């Protein structure tokens, strides 16, 4: 006789009960997170409960399956990972694999497993997936760029290895600190095989005048769930330049919490999502302006085919002290089928009186005038569609300044389109 395997939230809580006391780091933080997760549950999984932050995204499919601890083979390699930069940290099924990695020089790199520590930005008490991560996090990257140091380009690669018949879950906990005047280009890629939950939480602290370019390229497996939460806190004149490309996974949630704590800070959280079939991807952001002369920018472009659904929820909060704030959000969606859907929800909450905040949204199909213009010049219909879809996305990809990555993303976009158009 076998015991039924608990599924959904109960399954994660049962795993925590089994591992309790053997997980790295502060047990009190984990216990509190477990209590929060027990109370919050998986968004959308409990009937009759609706949370505003999860208005358009339900994790009901996640509640139906048992997720187990990954068992990645010891000899698993990192073949097939994109080669974007010489300095690379590789995570297999959420575990740091030093033998596959090439840590950068000049900056301190460690792992959460070796030096466990929860940062002060994450809010497990509010965000159910952050609670889940805090409860079960086993590993992650810890990166510290000292004051005034240019850390160059660092690639963090996450790869999920298929386990026959098992759905696995991993919850990486990354933390990143840039000292005053420090710089870094951080490239994050996620991919893999099989059915898994990839639930990373990243905490980013930028010192005065620090500058982080953060490119995220999500191409997780078709049956995967990618639920990422990124917290960033910016001191004066710090700049966060973020770009996320969501290509893979069955359900994706990319949640940003950026706080501009010092004057003249700048945060950009651009994204592009290209979704087909029954994929669902949600970009949700909360930008908090707490100091004057801050700027925030967010342009999200979605290309949707089949029955895919895209979501953009953007919230800008401007505190009373944050005069001369300049905030901008834009959601643009290209719907290539009758059944595709985009939901956009912008919110502004402004307590300062001298600010410039705006948001906008556009939704449309390919423009028939543009199609006819191209075809009248001899460009075949399929090629004309391809040109216009690429043109739509090119604007979003322009946010990526690192040339080799920009080139790799262009290829990824083309390959996606070739698959979809085929």
Partner 1 sequence: MLEIKGLAASIDGKPILRGIDLVVPSGEVHAIMGPNGSGKSTLSYVLAGREDYDVTAGSATFEGADLLAMEPEARAAAGVFLAFQAPVELPGVGNANFLRTALNAVRRARGEAELDAVQFLKLARAETKRLAMADDMLKRNVNVGFSGGEKKRNEVLQMAILRPRLAILDETDSGLDIDALKIVADGVNALRRPEFSALVITHHQRLLDRLVPDRVHILAGGRIVRTGGPDLARELEARGYAAVTADAA
Q: Is 388 in the site for partner 1 (CB under 8 A)?
A: yes
Q: Is 380 in the site for partner 1 (CB under 8 A)?
A: yes
Tokens 């080799």, located at residue: 404
Q: Which residue from 200, 213, 235 is spatially nearest to 399, judged by alpha carbons?
A: 213
Contact range with partner 1 by CB under 8 A, out of 121-129, 356-364, 373-381, 405-413 = 373-381
Which letter, b or e, does each residue of 292-322 get, where b requires 16 or more Cβ atoms within 10 Å of its Cβ?
bbbbbbbbbbbbbbebbbbbbbbbbbbbeeb
Minimum Å distance from CB 210 to partner 1? Answer: 32
Q: Is 105 in the site for partner 1 (CB under 8 A)?
A: no
Contacts with 374 (C-beta within 8 Å, 6 or more apart), sequence order: 383, 384, 387, 388
Contact range with partner 1 by CB under 8 A, out of 92-100, 202-210, 386-394, 400-408 = 386-394
Q: Tell me the C-alpha distance between 245 and 274, whole Å.
A: 8
User: Which residue in the set 383, 401, 407, 411 belongs to the binding site for partner 1 (CB under 8 A)?
Assistant: 383
Q: Tell me the C-alpha distance between 208 and 267, whole Å.
A: 13
Which residues are bridge partners to 302 per DSSP? 273, 333
* Cβ proximity of 256 and 312 under 8 Å: no
Q: Is 375 in the site for partner 1 (CB under 8 A)?
A: yes
Minimum Å distance from CB 369 to partner 1? Answer: 5
Minimum Å distance from CB 176 to partner 1? Answer: 32
User: Which residue in the set 365, 372, 407, 415 belongs to the binding site for partner 1 (CB under 8 A)?
Assistant: 372
Does residue 104 come out as left (phi exceeding 0), alpha (psi in the -120 to 50 range) or beta?
Answer: beta
User: Which residue in the set 19, 29, 222, 387 belongs to the binding site for partner 1 (CB under 8 A)?
Assistant: 387
Q: Is 351 in the site for partner 1 (CB under 8 A)?
A: no
Q: Is 381 in the site for partner 1 (CB under 8 A)?
A: yes
Minimum Å distance from CB 410 to partner 1? Answer: 13
Q: Is 370 in the site for partner 1 (CB under 8 A)?
A: yes
Q: Tell me the C-alpha distance between 331 and 312, whole Å.
A: 7
The residues of the shown chain that bind partner 1, judged by CB under 8 A, are 368-370, 372-381, 383-384, 387-388, 390-395
């Amino acid at each position: 006789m076998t015991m039924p395997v608990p599924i959904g939230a109960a399954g994660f809580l049962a795993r925590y009960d089994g591992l309790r006391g053997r997980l790295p780091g502060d047990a009190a933080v984990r216990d509190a997170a477990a209590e929060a997760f027990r109370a919050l549950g998986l968004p959308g999984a409990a009937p009759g409960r609706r949370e505003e932050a999860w208005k358009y995204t339900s994790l009901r499919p996640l509640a139906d399956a048992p997720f187990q601890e990954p068992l990645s083979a010891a000899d698993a390699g990192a073949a097939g990972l994109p080669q974007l930069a010489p300095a690379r940290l590789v995570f297999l099924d959420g575990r740091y694999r030093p033998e596959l990695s090439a840590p950068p020089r000049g900056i301190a790199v460690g792992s959460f497993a070796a030096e466990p520590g929860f940062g002060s930005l994450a809010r497990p008490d509010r965000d159910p997936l952050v609670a889940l991560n805090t409860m079960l996090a086993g590993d992650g990257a810890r990166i510290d760029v000292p004051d005034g140091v240019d850390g160059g380009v660092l690639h963090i690669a996450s790869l999920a290895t298929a386990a026959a018949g098992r759905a696995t879950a991993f919850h990486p906990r990354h933390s990143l600190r840039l000292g005053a005047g420090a710089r870094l280009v951080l490239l994050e890629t996620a991919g893999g095989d099989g059915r898994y939950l990839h639930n990373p939480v990243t905490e980013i602290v930028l010192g005065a005048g620090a500058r982080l370019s953060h490119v995220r390229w999500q191409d997780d497996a078709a049956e995967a769930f990618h639920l990422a939460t990124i917290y960033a806190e910016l001191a004066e004149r710090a700049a966060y330049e973020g770009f996320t490309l969501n290509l893979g996974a069955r359900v994706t949630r990319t949640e940003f919490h950026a706080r501009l704590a010092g004057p003249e800070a700048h945060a950009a959280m651009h994204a592009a999502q290209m979704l087909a079939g029954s994929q669902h991807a949600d970009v949700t952001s909360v930008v908090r302006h707490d100091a004057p002369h801050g700027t925030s920018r967010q342009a999200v472009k979605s290309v949707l085919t089949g029955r895919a659904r895209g979501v953009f929820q953007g919230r800008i909060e401007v505190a009373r002290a944050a005069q001369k704030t300049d905030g901008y959000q834009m959601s643009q969606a290209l719907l290539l089928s009758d059944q595709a859907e985009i939901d956009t929800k912008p919110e502004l909450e402004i307590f300062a009186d001298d600010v410039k905040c705006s948001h906008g949204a556009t939704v449309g199909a390919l423009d028939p005038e543009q199609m006819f213009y191209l075809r009248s010049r001899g460009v075949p219909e399929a090629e004309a569609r391809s040109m216009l879809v690429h043109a739509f996305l090119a604007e979003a990809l322009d946010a990526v300044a690192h040339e080799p990555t920009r080139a790799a993303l262009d290829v990824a976009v083309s390959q996606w389109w070739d698959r979809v158009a085929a």
